[in-house]
């Protein structure tokens, strides 16, 4: 269930966890009544830190994993197309850099909407 961030009049943060439907029902014009006071939603604060960060390369991708039985076939197909990728025994691809990741995702038929082109 999502957590929404609201602020009191003095700027103090109040985090409220509720379903999207409940938030839509309770919130009017970016404000919500809670515990006898009116709070204003801080959408920007909700999105701080949501962009994945990488502390370094290489990275192992869970989201781009293939079934372990498909690793040899996938590795060969990608190599034929010029992208050499190592896979873990459980099927997770190893990306060596951002450029390598983009090329590998393209070969796998994936894309990252939270990334640059």
Instruction: Give the chain's domain count.
Output: 2
CA–CA separation, 106 and 100 (whole Å): 10
Token pair, residue 73, equals 């076939």
Cβ(6)–Cβ(16) below 8 Å: yes
Say if residue 96 is in the same domain as residue 63.
yes
* Cα distances (angstroms) measured from residue 41 to each of 11, 24, 112: 11, 12, 28
Q: Please report the pLDDT score of residue 53 as a whole number.
A: 54
Q: Are residues 66 and 102 in the same domain?
A: yes
Confidence tier at 51 by pLDDT (50, 70, 90): low
Do 7 and 43 fall within a single domain? yes
Residue 73 belongs to domain spanning: 59-108
Say if 117 falls within a structural domain.
no
**Is 87 domain-assigned?**
yes
Which pair of tokens denotes residue 14? 């109040």
Listed residue (103, 70, 109) closest to 87, CA to CA: 70
Q: Could you report the per-residue pLDDT of 62-101, keeping only the tens digit for each? A: 999 999 999 999 999 999 999 999 999 999 999 999 889 9
């Amino acid at each position: 269930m999502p957590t929404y961030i609201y602020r009191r009049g003095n700027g103090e943060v109040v985090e409220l966890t509720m379903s999207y439907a409940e938030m839509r029902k309770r919130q009017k014009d970016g404000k919500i009544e809670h515990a006898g006071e009116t709070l204003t939603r801080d959408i920007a604060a909700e999105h701080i830190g949501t962009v994945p960060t990488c502390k370094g390369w290489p990275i192992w991708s869970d989201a781009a994993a293939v079934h372990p039985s498909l690793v040899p076939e996938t590795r060969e197909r990608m190599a034929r197309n010029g992208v050499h990728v190592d896979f873990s025994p459980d099927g997770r691809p190893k990306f060596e850099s951002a450029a390598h990741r983009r090329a590998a995702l393209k070969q796998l038929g994936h894309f990252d909407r939270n990334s640059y082109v």
